[in-house]
Amino acid sequence: MHPMLNVAIKAARRAGNIINRASLNSERIQVTRKQHNDFVTEVDQAAEAAIIETLREAYPDHGFLAEETGETAGSQAADQPSHVWIIDPLDGTTNFIHGFPQYAVSIALAVDGVTQQAVVYDPNRDELFTATRGAGAYLNNRRLRVAGRLKMTEALIATGFPYREDQDVEAYVKAFVEMTRQCAGLRRPGAASLDLAYVAAGRVDGFFEQGLKPWDIAAGALLITESGGLVGNYAGEESYLHTGEVMAANPRIFGQMVNTLRHHSKV
């Protein structure tokens, strides 16, 4: 296993312990509203601090792009460090606040803008999804492959609804209706990093969502490409990490999803 991945796993498990301890006492969690339906808890902040501390101890020169603290440079960093850790300490905060057990820690390492290492950790199920570019994706120690289904009519597709006021719910509903008519079922579990990990593991056949941030996507996207899937925007193109418009599936389902979602693209 790559040493940088090892450190990322250590960081993710540390964050998972903080989240699990807090979940035992969920009515005492302090919640702050960032904007309508966008929440942050003291647990997000504590988990993020633990992740950054673990990574910084091992790699003081690396930079960070994290949901709660934004972008920070390493200790020796020039303008732009070549190694940047992209972190979501608790993806699915709204689920967490309600005790709905679908949330995860997401950590990715980008080197010169290309994701090289990925960890998505589900502390509820103790499921650790990992990938190193070129070396495959794994769940705990089992190699992952995307599902082999070829027809949209048999596909189970995960998605995420817009939840912030600046997102266009009406436009989303049109895409939702079209996809519902074509696939075997749509699911909306509420943590994009886990949805992407589930595509990699073959638990769902595809995923689509708009309005995401790099820390929601970076780790999950590498899991998918390393398990034989494709990731792109709704037109099937590469510009998803910073546009926040993401679609993922096995190659055959991906092509069918592009046909449906292309005209809903905002990119």
Q: Given pLDDT bands bounded at 50, 70 and 90, which one contains residue 165?
A: low
Average pLDDT over residues 89-106: 95
Q: Does residue 52 carry a pLDDT above 90?
A: yes
| 21 lies in the same domain as 137 | yes
- Whether residue 137 is found in the same domain as residue 7: yes
Residues 259 and 135 in one domain: no
Mean pLDDT of 184-207: 97
Give the domain range for residue 135: 3-143
Confidence band (pLDDT; 50, 70, 90) for 171?
confident
Q: What is the DSSP string of the chain?
A: --HHHHHHHHHHHHHHHHHHHHHTTGGG--EEEEETTEEEEHHHHHHHHHHHHHHHHH-TT-EEEETTTEEE--SS--SS-SEEEEEEEEETHHHHHHT-S--EEEEEEEETTEEEEEEEEETTTTEEEEEETTS-EEETTEEP-------GGG-EEEE----STTS-HHHHHHHHHHHHHHSSEEE--S-HHHHHHHHHTTSSSEEEESS--HHHHHHHHHHHHHTT-EEE-TTS-STTTTT--EEEE-HHHHHHHHHHHGGG---
Average pLDDT across the chain, whole number: 93
Domain boundary among 98, 126, 143: 143
Tens of pLDDT along 4-14? 999 999 999 99
Last residue of some domain: 143, 169, 196? 143
User: Do residues 97 and 162 share a domain?
Assistant: no
Residues 139 and 197 in one domain: no
